[in-house]
Structure 1
Amino acid sequence: MLQGGYASVLGAVSRDEFRGEVVRFARQLGFDTVSAMAVVDHGVGRSDFVLIDNAPEGYSDAFHDVPSMRRDPVMQHCRRHSVPIVWNQDTYTSQGLGDLWEEQARFGYCNGIAMALHLPHGRHFALGVERDRPLPADRGELTRIVADLQLFAVHAQDAAMRVLAPDLAMTDLPALTPRELEVLRWTMEGKTAWEVGAILGITERTAVLHVNNAMHKLQCSSKHQAVLKALRLGLIH
């Protein structure tokens, strides 16, 4: 039954269809609520995101705001890691955020699993499922559920970017050479052209040439702009 969910979400051609497939899969997996979010970074401190969920009335207004997201330990985990997090009340109380858990528990958000896929070119896809009942105590069963969710997320992220954020699709990326990317990485670390040359075993003039070529390909007027744009496009990390 779950196998059909993996393939079905790929066929979604509208936001409503995508939401329906995500909700259906979550319920097959034994969860009452689900949220899926497509995020595209555009540089430091600037991102676009589109969210779909089946949250009960009143929950979205209370929790889908920036201050709450910044406090939420599950959201913060997903921002930094690709490993799924299995969470419950202890996840919040251990960080002194029991009040946040109690507020969301009123809406049935008591236990859940969340994960994020951090993709190239500053794209991210987050998926979370929740319910008021405890998660299975049997480790094997819980591992299977997490694995099913991970596999579904891999399928769903492609549809999410295509359906939820079509206007944010990436255009063809500049074709920087491995050496140009390497020079940009060291420039990002604050190294001068002379230092980059010493590290890479090339002359200072050659290091400058690689930086200038990268700037030209990225259509930037300074090496610092080139580093920031390369980061935004996922060319360097």
Structure 2
Amino acid sequence: MESMLQGEYISVLDAKTKHEFEAHVVRFAQGLGFRTVTAMAVIDHVLGEPEFHCVDNGPAAYDALASDPANGKRDPVMQHCKHKSVPIIWNQATYVVAGEGNKWEEQAQYGYRCGIGLAMHLPKGRHFFLGVDRDQALPACPSEITRMTAALQLYAAYAQEASTHVLLPSVAPQETVALTPRELETLRWAMEGKTAWEVGRILGIAEDTVARHAHSAARKLGCSSKLHAVVKALRLGLIQ
């Protein structure tokens, strides 16, 4: 299953339509062991309500409840993701502790009993949410939960980049980004899975200097993390 998931990371960047994008994220979620998935791009506006652009494969009967603005305000998972970038692993207890046990009962009948969700908070008031859900309990083994969460975090960087051009074509600029040779080298080695310490040894520079190059590259690319910067640089053809 791991090799299949890894193939999905890059292939989602090839999605040209909303339908293709949805097919990619659904296939990834189901390969990870979850029945349903939601991928949502959000744009905040200084004046007016935020924009929501979403794909999901949830049951049609759940659409009315899911699209109700009050639903998100009650949902402790969405409230967590609204303010934090740390993934949340949730189940019935998450809702009970938040005083929203009834909310969990409402959604559980549609198969939303537990899952993992995370958000990426980007420059210029843009956000990306990715959540996977199922009606069976999550694995009892902590290492398996860690593996699932790590896979979701990695995939989110690719899915967010794809969503910019599929769900938000009107705001996706034709980027021309100039990175320095050191910034490009840093991203290339990061793509190979090297740590900042290892890259520093390879390039003959300090670990802190590597981190500064990575941070500078991410800022120029408008990305929220080094991983996201690697994905965007790949899509733009800046690294191979």
Write out aligned runs for 1:147-166 (5 A). 147-166=150-169
Query: 1:86 aligns to what SS in structure 2?
Result: strand
Write out aligned runs for 1:5-154 (5 A). 5-43=8-46, 46-154=49-157
Q: Distance in 2 between matches of 1:41 and 1:148?
A: 27
Equivalence for 2:226: none
CA distance 1:122–1:171, change in 2 (3 Å): farther
Identity %: 53
Query: 1:58 aligns to what SS in structure 2?
Result: helix
Cα distance, 1:46 vs structure 2:
2.9
Q: Distance in 2 between matches of 1:166 and 1:118?
A: 18
Query: 2:72 aligns to what SS in structure 1?
Result: helix
Q: Distance in 2 between matches of 1:123 and 1:171?
A: 17
Equivalence for 1:3: 6
Aligned residues: CA RMSD: 1.7
TM-score by length of 2: 0.70
Query: 1:36 aligns to what SS in structure 2?
Result: strand
Aligned-partner residue type, residue 166 of structure 2 = V
Query: 2:133 aligns to what SS in structure 1?
Result: strand
Query: 2:60 aligns to what SS in structure 1?
Result: coil
Aligned-partner residue type, residue 8 of structure 2 = G
Query: 2:43 aligns to what SS in structure 1?
Result: strand
CA distance 1:84–1:78, change in 2 (3 Å): same
Q: Distance in 2 between matches of 1:83 and 1:127?
A: 12
CA distance 1:88–1:44, change in 2 (3 Å): farther
Cα distance, 1:108 vs structure 2:
0.4
Aligned-partner residue type, residue 164 of structure 1 = L
Query: 1:37 aligns to what SS in structure 2?
Result: strand
Aligned-partner residue type, residue 111 of structure 1 = C
Cα distance, 1:63 vs structure 2:
2.1
Which residues of structure 1 form unaligned runs of 5+? 173-232
Aligned-partner residue type, residue 154 of structure 2 = L
Question: How many pairs are equivalent?
Answer: 174
Indicate if the aligned counterparts of 1:121 and 1:170 stay in contact, CA closer than 8 A.
no
**In terms of Rg, which structure is larger?**
1
The one-character-per-residue Cα deviations of 1:50-76 (angstroms, maximum 9, x if unpaired) are 010001121011122111111100000
Q: Structure 1 residues 52-61 or 41-50, which shifts more?
A: 41-50
Aligned-partner residue type, residue 39 of structure 2 = A
Cα distance, 1:170 vs structure 2:
5.4
Cα distance, 1:49 vs structure 2:
1.5
Q: Distance in 1 between matches of 2:172 and 2:12?
A: 19
Q: Distance in 1 between matches of 2:94 and 2:65?
A: 20
Which residues of structure 2 form unaligned runs of 5+? 176-221, 224-240
